[in-house]
């Protein structure tokens, strides 16, 4: 089932599929890398490495920018790290500029993985290796590798956390919930959603859960641009239309930024806090979790994701094929992209101290 969910061929019928949210660890065993074209020949150690990042919609992207700049230079490379806050056309121009400058590897965290095919092909034609970072590049055979946390697993963890949190507050159901999804132009948003629904759907079917608004589909749940104001506005509408005297027990939120917006809406409506999930271990959400407001987040340490990406770059520089641990799950509509997937971790108040023990910022919030 999981491969079907992650297969971009299926996404052609649904709009998007699998990679901000997104994230703040240990890798699995390697598999044969198969059909990737990157990694042959190598290049000079001081070559240019391009990193094209999306808009600054969450803390993990800002951290990634800093880490790529610092760690690529420490490894001896020239780094060109760019944010595309102006949108897709800006990211297209940035990638084309990296190609023109002669970047040997281009790492792409896409705003919209479906709209970069021309630029990715130009990169391949120029001899560069292309690594999709955090979000899959879709409908192109010019992407060589994919590095990300296991996004379907992220959704499963969120779904289970929602159930666990509600049961802890109220041992017996049924439970009234609402569901939110990420931006439809982010390939990860549908994967998070499908992972969560693989856990929640059986409980909807047996009556344990009820989505009072009736808004059950991905298309109904999406939050354009991952913008918190969009989530807050939708939550305002859901509450006013459906929860006059009805209790809201839980909300599936795909990331921390949206979780805080949802909780702001609930507070503004004068309602008790429901169980709300999240992702990315953002500082304000970790504080909220420790205060007993937001229920959970996902620990996806950006330091480890950037470290793994640079490890891939090093292998390619040396003329070797990078380590991968998944060569069958991520079909982007044209090819199965060899991937290295890192394991995500659910975090609640109960395990936050342990989960963030090695994080210099977040560990201070759990004392």
pLDDT computed for residue 4 by the predictor: 36
Nearest 10 degrees: CA dihedral of 131, 134, 138, 142? 0
Residue 316 pLDDT exceeds 60: yes
**Most confident option among 60-64, 306-310, 329-333:** 306-310
Of 166, 295, 175, 296, give the one whose Cα is nearest residue 247. 175
User: Mean pLDDT, to the nearest integer, of 324-336?
Assistant: 94
Residue 18 pLDDT exceeds 80: no
Residue 25 pLDDT exceeds 70: no
- Pair 312, 34: CB distance under 8 Å: no
**pTM of the prediction?**
0.82
Of 172, 195, 152, 74, give the one whose Cα is nearest residue 330. 152
- Pair 326, 338: CB distance under 8 Å: yes
The residue among 121 and 59 whose pLDDT is bigger is 121
Residue 32 pLDDT exceeds 50: no
- Burial degree of 98 (CB within 10 A; 0-12, 13-18, 19+): buried
Is the Cα torsion angle 161, 162, 163, 164 positive or negative in sign? Answer: positive
Distances 245 to 226, 241, 300 between C-alpha atoms, Å: 30, 11, 38
Q: What percent of the chain has pLDDT over 70?
A: 89
Name the token pair of 171: 């041992």
The alpha carbon of residue 296 and the mean position of all alpha carbons in its chain are separated, in whole angstroms, by 16
Residue 119 pLDDT exceeds 80: yes
- Pair 221, 237: CB distance under 8 Å: no
The residue among 286 and 33 whose pLDDT is bigger is 286
All structural domains of the chain? 2-150+301-344 (3.40.50.2300), 152-299 (3.40.50.2300)
Give the model confidence (pLDDT) of 204-259 as tens digits: 999 999 999 999 999 999 999 999 999 999 999 999 999 999 999 999 999 999 99
Give the model confidence (pLDDT) of 133-166 as tens digits: 999 999 999 999 999 999 999 999 999 999 999 9
Of 57, 79, 58, give the one whose Cα is nearest residue 68. 79
- d(C-alpha 98, C-alpha 105), whole Å: 9
The mean pLDDT value of the chain amounts to 90
Helix (H) or strand (E) holding 181: none
Cis peptide before 79 (omega within 30 of 0): no
pLDDT computed for residue 20 by the predictor: 37
- Pair 64, 302: CB distance under 8 Å: yes
Name the token pair of 162: 């929602």
- Pair 140, 334: CB distance under 8 Å: yes
pLDDT computed for residue 317 by the predictor: 97
Of 34, 74, 75, give the one whose Cα is nearest residue 317. 75
Helix (H) or strand (E) holding 249: none
- DSSP state, residue 25: -
pLDDT computed for residue 54 by the predictor: 94
pLDDT computed for residue 79 by the predictor: 98
How many helical (H) and strand (E) elements, i.e. helices and strands, does the chain have? Answer: 13, 12
- Pair 19, 136: CB distance under 8 Å: yes
- d(C-alpha 142, C-alpha 211), whole Å: 41
Residue 192 pLDDT exceeds 50: yes
Confidence of residue 188 (pLDDT cuts 50, 70, 90): very high
pLDDT computed for residue 57 by the predictor: 79
User: Mean pLDDT, to the nearest integer, of 259-271?
Assistant: 98
User: Mean pLDDT, to the nearest integer, of 266-279?
Assistant: 97
């Amino acid at each position: 089932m999981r491969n079907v969910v992650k297969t971009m061929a299926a996404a052609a019928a649904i709009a998007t599929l699998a990679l901000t949210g997104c994230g703040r660890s240990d890798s699995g065993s390697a598999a044969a890398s198969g059909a990737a074209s990157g990694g042959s020949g190598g290049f000079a150690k001081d070559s240019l490495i391009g990193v094209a990042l999306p808009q600054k919609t969450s803390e993990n992207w800002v951290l990634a920018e800093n880490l790529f700049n610092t760690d690529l230079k420490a490894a001896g490379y020239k780094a060109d790290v760019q944010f595309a806050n102006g949108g897709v056309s800006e990211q297209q121009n940035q990638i084309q500029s990296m190609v023109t400058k002669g970047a040997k590897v281009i790492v792409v965290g896409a705003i919209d993985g479906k709209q970069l095919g021309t630029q990715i092909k130009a990169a391949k034609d120029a001899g560069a290796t292309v690594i999709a970072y955090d979000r899959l590049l879709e409908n192109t055979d010019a992407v060589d590798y994919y590095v990300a946390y296991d996004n379907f697993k992220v959704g499963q963890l969120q779904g289970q956390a929602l159930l666990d949190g509600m049961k802890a507050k109220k041992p017996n159901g049924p439970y009234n919930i609402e569901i939110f999804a990420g931006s439809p132009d982010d390939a990860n948003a549908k994967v998070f959603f499908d992972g969560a629904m693989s856990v929640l759907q059986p409980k909807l079917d047996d009556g344990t859960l009820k989505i009072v608004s009736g808004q059950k589909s991905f298309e109904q749940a999406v939050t354009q641009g991952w913008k918190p104001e969009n989530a807050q506005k939708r939550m305002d509408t859901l509450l006013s239309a459906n929860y006059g005297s009805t209790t809201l027990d839980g909300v599936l939120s795909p990331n921390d930024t949206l979780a805080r917006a949802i909780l702001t809406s609930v507070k503004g409506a004068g309602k008790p806090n429901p169980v709300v999930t999240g992702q990315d271990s953002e500082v304000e959400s970790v504080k909220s979790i420790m205060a007993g407001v937001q229920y959970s987040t996902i620990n996806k340490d950006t330091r480890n994701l950037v470290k793994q990406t640079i490890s891939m770059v090093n292998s390619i520089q040396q003329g070797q094929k990078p380590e991968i641990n998944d060569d069958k799950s991520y079909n982007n509509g044209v090819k199965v992209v060899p991937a290295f997937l890192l394991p995500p971790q659910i975090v609640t108040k109960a395990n936050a101290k342990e989960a963030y023990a090695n994080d210099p910022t977040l560990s201070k919030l759990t004392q």
